[in-house]
Amino acid sequence: MKSNKLKFIDLFAGIGGMRLAFEKAGGKCVFSSEWDKYAQKTYLNNFGELPEGDITNIDEKSVPDHDILVAGFPCQPFSIAGVSKKNSLGRDHGFLDKTQGTLFFDVARIIKEKRPRAFLLENVKNLKSHDKGRTFKVICETLEKLGYSLHVKVLDGKHFVPQHRERIFIIGFDTNVYGGWERFDFPELEKPLKRMNDVLDDRVDDKYTLSNKLWNYLQEYAAKHKAKGNGFGFGLADPEGICRTLSARYYKDGSEILISQGDDKNPRRLTPRECARLQGYPESFKIVVSDTQAYKQFGNSVVVPLIEAIAKQMVQAMNIHQHEKSYEKEPVVI
């Protein structure tokens, strides 16, 4: 029996946060790509599939047909490739020349070859201002010239989890299919309700407590920068509020999100499981790597329920169009 589920591919998959979200929205993953071996291990243990490796080595023609392309691609500087470089690659992509040598180029060549009906690209908020806005301009021009109408917005994960996490989302719909008239709106974000206490464990191993040496260093570092009028320093999370953005560098000292343990004990880091909750991962999600790798993985990941809300809006827009298209084909009875 043929499945009616929308098929999607998961590029720069990390540990599968985007996949979880699109599966919850009713999608079926048919391909994934992730080069980091530790992220691959986590992905395999949670989805039973080992992602393909380095995307730069993947032939776009070998990628399965799909309805939606999903990618949280890294941000890199763009430079116009030379003629010799283009010839050596054996590719003649015209306006795509501007993105060669960047990982966005690999997303663009797959979109060009496979023509998904829609895509979702996620990146850091600063993508818009990166390289004086040139990077973002090239990305948007490239996608529009490929024949996609764009919807772009910066959204904050704090509406779903107790974490201030702003990311830019670029949604595209194939103009050959939708004609630029797709009925897509970004999700309405309700007032944040989650608090740090909602993700914290009552009892935590003492290994997560900061040593006296590290705690003293962080306090001295913060005091030094405060005296200079800078805002650098550690962040003690308000248990009744939200925390700073969890980053991939959290494994180093945990300074951006520390949890108070009272006056008689040094603050502590979050545990990997608490980091998972902070990104909206379910309790059933398996953490199968070291704490250091887990911190990197969750710091690089996405707020799963936010992506799910966006995915549902995308799927709804695609289903509405399909329904209207079917309705147009119905014979008129007089």
202: which residues sit within 8 A by CB, 6+ positions away? none
Q: d(Cα 149, Cα 158) in Å, to the nearest integer?
A: 28
Q: One of 75, 140, 243, 275 is an active-site residue; which one?
A: 75
Q: Which two tokens stand for residue 331?
A: 């014979």
Contacts of 38 (CB under 8 A, 6+ apart): 289, 293, 296, 297
Strands, E assignment, 148-208: 148-156, 166-174
Residues 6 or more apart whose Cβ sits within 8 Å of residue 317 = 118, 173, 182, 183, 184
Going by the DSSP 8-state scheme, the letter that residue 16 receives in this structure is S
Asked about 275 being catalytic, the answer comes back as no
In which order are the strands placed within the sheet that holds 28-32? 28-32, 7-11, 68-71, 118-124, 166-174, 148-156
Residue with tokens 């199968």, as numbered in its chain: 288
Q: Which residues make beta-bridge pairs with 175?
A: none
Q: Which active-site residues does the annotation give?
A: 75
